[in-house]
Structure 1
Amino acid sequence: MSGFLSSTATLLGRTILSPVAPHSLFAVNVEYYKPASSSSSKTSPSSSSPTIETLLAATETLDTAKNPTFKPTPWLSTGHLQTIYSAVGNFSQIDAVEFKRRVFLTPDGGTVGLDIAPPALAPSEAELKSSSHPAADGLPTVVCLHGLTGGSHESYVRNCFSHLTKPTSQGGLGYRGIVVNFRGCANVPVTSPQLYSALKIADIRSALLFITKLYPSSPLVGIGFSLGANVLGRYLGEEGDNTPLLGGVIVGTPFDLKAGADELDYGGFLSQKYAMAMGNNLQRMARKHKDTLALHPPFRALLDDLYDAPPQPKAELELYKQQVKNGGPRDGERAIIKRGSLKAADQTMTRFVGGLPKPYGEFPFESADDYYDYGGCANNIANVQRPMLCLSAEDDPIVPSKIWDKIRAAIGRKPDGTPVEDDAEAKYNENVVLAWTKGGGHLGWFESIRPRRWLYRPTSEFIKALFDHTSDEEKARIRAKSRWAQEQIKAKEVQVELIPVEALPAYTLPGQDGRSSRWTDTEISSSKTDAKRALASGADSPARVADLERNLASGEAGAEDSLLNPSDTGFAANAPPTPAGGQVNDAEHSTLRMAWLLTHLLKEAPLVHPRHATYAPYKQPNASDADERRKLGWETVTMTMYTDKKHLEVGFAELDPNSRVAGAGETFRGGIDTPGGSMEPKRGSVQKGGKNVIAGL
């Protein structure tokens, strides 16, 4: 054990080499509201939903009567070490999960990918019935939302899904699992002028509309991680009793986005490193999908500013350093946003492209802080009307316990976690429980000398309790409230054009391909980042993690690059060069395609086709014959778009495997294979494999 690792752990509040610690150090702490008198009313109108006490009692890791514990791996004894290991450890051969992908378009033209495990359960309920599959009727389904720039490949997702979807004969629970991959993540293309954010609710609504169409008899439970946890928490609060979910689990949740962002910006040196790492990940995602985002003219300046930000004045940097010392700006003082940080990326890009414009969504926001103030799920947690577990770690360096105040207030707890005095007039939410451990980091929770994740245990136990203890009557009541059962869905034929990925006009950023940087004379280089990534690919041993901790704790610029994810935020558009004249040889063209909605469904939302690009030519094939064009990758098809009559922005049109979009219909191994990888361009730069990512705010 390195002396540095031991001293670092001591500095951060826990000594690695200490003898057996008091039980409270490893205890799983559970907080929820239980009124002292019957005069306080329950938030949920449904008396059929199981109580939090009933659900907790059905678990081993959350029932305090059983004295549950979590004991971190000795050489990963701090939140920083747990988080670093989660980012750089090699988990490709751990928690094997096989998925099958289904892909759909949304009413604004966006593309969303659903990865379903196991593949045998991916067919619709009707298809399973026709084949007399034993799981055709009423099989439980778990719907997952991943973290920032993540996807179904993430190790924390597979840790939970491995147990949830493994057959009961092999010790699993035998459920169906579905990962909703956000736009631009996990090899899903961006096909409309927006990405996603911590409050992008329309896509999860659309996914659930699709899922309840595929599996109308299946009871559903949601689980979200980090940014995805905030999305799920907001969704459950907004939907109240109208959601098709029996309940939910949210893990590593940034309940209060503003407080969390302030902690990253002003919480100290290491906090800023995480802010820079997550900001860089978000910047990389935007750059990866720059060609689509640039189709919307106002976004080109945003891309330029994100990639080629002006140098920060020295006076601003000095003021920022002072604000860090003060824990934030003083009253009346202008808050300084550090270049390259997560807040800088959100200020430049997310507040514009993180969701649908009014009246379909809340975007754009006046500033990143306005987005943060509005977007935290703690703002509407009081309205959650189904059982929901919030699992967090006190030493999480990305969403620390300092930001739990609002969630605790919603469940009748003081900021220190102690119960409030009973008040007959007060209304607290009895449907929400906060469970936390002292250790675990951000989506880590590694235990044992040879690290293995504890995370799947509390999450799968609570999910199983939800399925087992929700009465058949309550499940039937929830099914009867679905948009399908209430005939609140309308169908419309739409035109969709399929184009080769490489046909998308390429937008040139400052400092690339001959375009000059606006601020420097040198082209922006990734060689340093590449070197850092190469360094991060070593064996994930205690000594290796100690080296990364030392690197992160240094004052060296770019040290946070060891936390970056070099893959799986999308795919490399424009990879194979198109021959002169736009003709593409069929032998070269067994690649992925992109689907573009031609029918404008949302009057107030932009719908821009690549042929309207003004920054680069859109070269179509010379052939006019439909069969010849299809061979070359261009095709126009008619599809059915199902939309919610109440929310016009919510809907889906499923793409079949013949579309070759985002690996639709393909079976792949999570964390090993890239969905659609067999269709990827044979030439050009396509990033594959790689480590996992800090799944932050």
Structure 2
Amino acid sequence: MSGFLSSTATLLGRTILSPVAPHSLFAVNVEYYKPASSSPTTSSSRTSPSIETLLSATETLDPAKNPTFKPTPWLSTGHLQTIYSAVGNFAHIDAVEFKRRVFVVPDGGTIGLDISPPTLAASEEDLKAQGHEAGDGLPTVVCLHGLTGGSHESYVRNCFAHLTAPVSAGGLGYRAIVVNFRGCASVPVTSPQLYSALKLADIRSALLLITKLYPNSPLVGIGFSLGANILGRYLGEEGDSTPLLGGVIVGTPFDLKSGADELDYGGFLSHKYSTAMGSNLQRMARAHKNTLALHPSFRSLLDDLYDPAPQPRAEVELYKAQARNYGPRKGERTVIKNFTLKHADQVMTRFVGGLPKPYGEFPFDSADDYYRYGGCANVIEGVRRPMLCLSAQDDPIVPSKMWDRIRAAIGRNPDGSRKQEEGEYNENVVLAWTKAGGHLGWFEGVRPRRWLHRPTSEFIKAVFEQTSSEEKARVAGRSRWVADQVDVREVDVELTPAEALPEYTLPGENGRSSRYSDSPKKHEKKQLDGKDSPGRVAELDRELQSDAPGAEDSLLNPSDTGFAANAPPSSTGEVNDGEHKTLRLPWLLTHVLKEAPLIHPRHASYAPYNEPTSTNEEERKKLGWEKITLKMYTDKERPEVGFCELGPETRVAGAGETFRGGIDTPGGSMAPSADNKGKKNVIAGL
């Protein structure tokens, strides 16, 4: 019997054949620190609601209510739950509409905010002017997506569908905002940077804009996977200065070094996941190679990412030995296998994952140094707001070994038992976990539906409702705007047609030869058939358990990595040959950060940059080139934190568009039509 059938039969025996299933098998386990009454840190000194108070206001997390999570019988392991997350057809499940706002940050990067419901995307001031009753004080949830994700993700929409649905329809009636990081979900890369577990300037910039748009709105954050690490690290670094009343982090890689070691040395399937995530990062860099290549030193990084030197047989054998020993022996050099997650981070992320000093921590000496520094567990003691950490014990990407440092921070031993001795523990953090669920899965019922929205929305609702008006006022009073900690200046931004960006040719493509004649072939991504039946999941499980080349591509569903680069635009897309109608790219011309480089297509030395010869502004604008002057707001203490917002007229990344999450491509109506084959859509996202 295959592993899939065996595990399914085991679970069926527990759920159907057994008269009473053991409670611990399905229990939602909750761990947090409750100080003794004699502790100097007592509840009387708290300003936020206690974890105990918040849990008692939930159905799925309150230990007194014996909450449970029972996984779908045919998705009985974390591996199967994770596969289903990749191959399930969620396009018409948890329908959510968004309206997009786009802004440029001080280093020249571009960020997208997708706001739901669209009727609440206008600023509070504009909503008041429209007579909208939700103009003031409406709760807002701010979301950070996972690796190379965005607002289209099925797990994001699962939570948003309940958070934003009207109360009359059984929802909470909140506003919710996805922060789409640079390079994700049709947001272009316009600076020599991607994003990473340590890219906190972008979430700080997003919150600066959000608090300007909605100054009277209480805020709570939620993050998933890599976005969960970013949110956890932000809350730890920011402490009591954050405008967020609390946070929820889901499937969090608390300890990046421990997680990377598990992916490298945790066994055959772990290596498959490492290869799949490395491919995600590779595809992201590939989608934005033309911008990254504008920075001369990054061209060699791109070449090494796609065309690395073949590894000698002895080195491959050494890697296999290290995998068997769960890492290098003492004094032995670490071998990084090509095309894995660590390979992508070693070659690319440690250089392009964030700002250079003094504005950030990059570059790092190695991927391992980046991992050691970047995990949110390093700063968990600094969290000063209620924070729920939701994880699954069988998560194949974020194993439970990574919980040790979180448990230590809340007075728990590695096995979850309470520490006997008192100490400096953080009473603001709660770890809730289930035995099953996989990575961002948590499917229940014979016809799988996500359980995820229940604990997250219940905890978020409790934070909003249990936080006193005095505490909300205190947090609002610490706003950078209220405290007069924001500078404003005028900056120049040049808008150019997306298709005008010079194209960088990678080794082995378009006539450029590979640097290594025996370089391994890159596997094309497998096209999934859209079926998500038990049989289809079992088939993919067998492929992944085999050593078939490229089997891990089944984990790279387009819904989890954005939109295909050549996907047709929406039915409204059309191009008028006499006027530019496609998406544009914003290039910051004013040097705001003196020690961080700005880039522009004119810097391209790998291909010609052809722009109109005419200096007539109207003629250039008709062809897509235009210079505009905007107000940029920056944090007085952190000059790298700031924004200048781009309006719909700029035609950047779908600014101002309303679209259906997971179905429409933001900016699709601005893209070239399917029959206009002479043009290419270079900003289709990931």
Same fold (TM over 0.5): yes
Any idea what SS the aligned residue of 1:675 has?
Answer: coil
Aligned to 1:316: 315
1:523–1:71 distance in 2 versus 1, CA, 3 Å: closer
Any idea what SS the aligned residue of 1:224 has?
Answer: strand
Aligned to 1:654: 645
Pairing 1:111–2:81 present: no
Aligned to 1:545: 537
Aligned to 1:581: none
Offset, 1:324? 1.0
For 1:297-376, what aligned pairs fall within 5 Å after superposition? 297-376=296-375
Answer with 632-641 or 514-523: which moved more: 514-523
Does the 8 Å contact 1:586/1:631 carry over to 2?
no
Instruction: Report the count of equivalent residues.
Output: 675
Offset, 1:205? 0.1
Distance, in Å, in 1 between the alignment partners of 2:190 and 2:126 is 30
Pairing 1:465–2:456 present: no
For 1:30-49, what aligned pairs fall within 5 Å after superposition? 30-41=30-41, 47-49=46-48
Any idea what SS the aligned residue of 1:197 has?
Answer: coil
Deviations 1:405-464 (A, max 9, x none): 1000000000000000132xx100000000000000000000000000000000000000
Aligned to 1:676: 667
For 1:479-628, what aligned pairs fall within 5 Å after superposition? 479-520=476-517, 528-530=523-525, 533-534=526-527, 536-566=528-558, 569=562, 572=565, 586-587=577-578, 589-628=580-619
Does the 8 Å contact 2:187/2:683 carry over to 1?
no
Aligned to 2:431: 434
TM-score w.r.t. the length of structure 2 is 0.95
Distance, in Å, in 1 between the alignment partners of 2:17 and 2:623 is 66
**Counterpart AA for 1:428:** Y
1:158–1:205 distance in 2 versus 1, CA, 3 Å: same
Deviations 1:600-642 (A, max 9, x none): 0101111011111111111001332111111100000000000
Does the 8 Å contact 1:585/1:632 carry over to 2?
no
Distance, in Å, in 2 between the alignment partners of 1:585 and 1:624 is 23
Distance, in Å, in 2 between the alignment partners of 1:182 and 1:87 is 21
Does the 8 Å contact 2:565/2:683 carry over to 1?
no
Offset, 1:21? 2.8
Does the 8 Å contact 1:45/1:385 carry over to 2?
no
For 1:75-114, what aligned pairs fall within 5 Å after superposition? 75-114=74-113
Offset, 1:162? 0.2
1:297–1:672 distance in 2 versus 1, CA, 3 Å: same
Distance, in Å, in 1 between the alignment partners of 2:373 and 2:149 is 23
Q: Which runs of no fewer than 5 residues in structure 2 stay unpaired? A: 570-574
Aligned to 2:177: 178
Answer with 319-328 or 4-13: which moved more: 4-13
Offset, 1:313? 1.1
1:607–1:686 distance in 2 versus 1, CA, 3 Å: closer
Aligned to 1:123: 122
Deviations 1:531-586 (A, max 9, x none): xx22x22410000000000001101121101111447547859x99xxxxxxx985
Aligned to 1:25: 25
Does the 8 Å contact 2:14/2:21 carry over to 1?
no
Distance, in Å, in 2 between the alignment partners of 1:275 and 1:126 is 47
Distance, in Å, in 2 between the alignment partners of 1:18 and 1:361 is 56
Does the 8 Å contact 1:9/1:77 carry over to 2?
yes
TM-score w.r.t. the length of structure 1 is 0.93
Pairing 1:230–2:229 present: yes
Any idea what SS the aligned residue of 1:75 has?
Answer: coil
For 1:143-162, what aligned pairs fall within 5 Å after superposition? 143-162=142-161
**Counterpart AA for 2:432:** A
Distance, in Å, in 2 between the alignment partners of 1:596 and 1:628 is 19
Deviations 1:193-215 (A, max 9, x none): 00000111000000000000000
Deviations 1:87-120 (A, max 9, x none): 1111000000000000000000000000000000
Deviations 1:230-261 (A, max 9, x none): 00000000000000000000000000000000
Offset, 1:36? 2.7
Picking from 654, 658, 662, the partner of 1:663 is 654
Distance, in Å, in 1 between the alignment partners of 2:308 and 2:135 is 54
Does the 8 Å contact 2:564/2:684 carry over to 1?
no
Distance, in Å, in 2 between the alignment partners of 1:350 and 1:46 is 42
Aligned to 1:579: none
**Counterpart AA for 2:65:** K
Offset, 1:130? 0.5
Any idea what SS the aligned residue of 2:74 has?
Answer: helix
Does the 8 Å contact 1:14/1:78 carry over to 2?
no
Aligned to 1:291: 290
Distance, in Å, in 1 between the alignment partners of 2:158 and 2:121 is 20
**Counterpart AA for 1:629:** R
Q: Which runs of no fewer than 5 residues in structure 1 stay unpaired? A: 577-583
Does the 8 Å contact 2:69/2:434 carry over to 1?
yes
**Counterpart AA for 1:309:** P
**Counterpart AA for 1:459:** T
Does the 8 Å contact 1:411/1:429 carry over to 2?
yes
Distance, in Å, in 1 between the alignment partners of 2:444 and 2:619 is 58
Any idea what SS the aligned residue of 2:543 has?
Answer: helix
Offset, 1:342? 0.3
Distance, in Å, in 1 between the alignment partners of 2:296 and 2:56 is 55
Offset, 1:344? 0.3
**Counterpart AA for 1:153:** H
1:13–1:166 distance in 2 versus 1, CA, 3 Å: closer
Aligned to 2:572: none
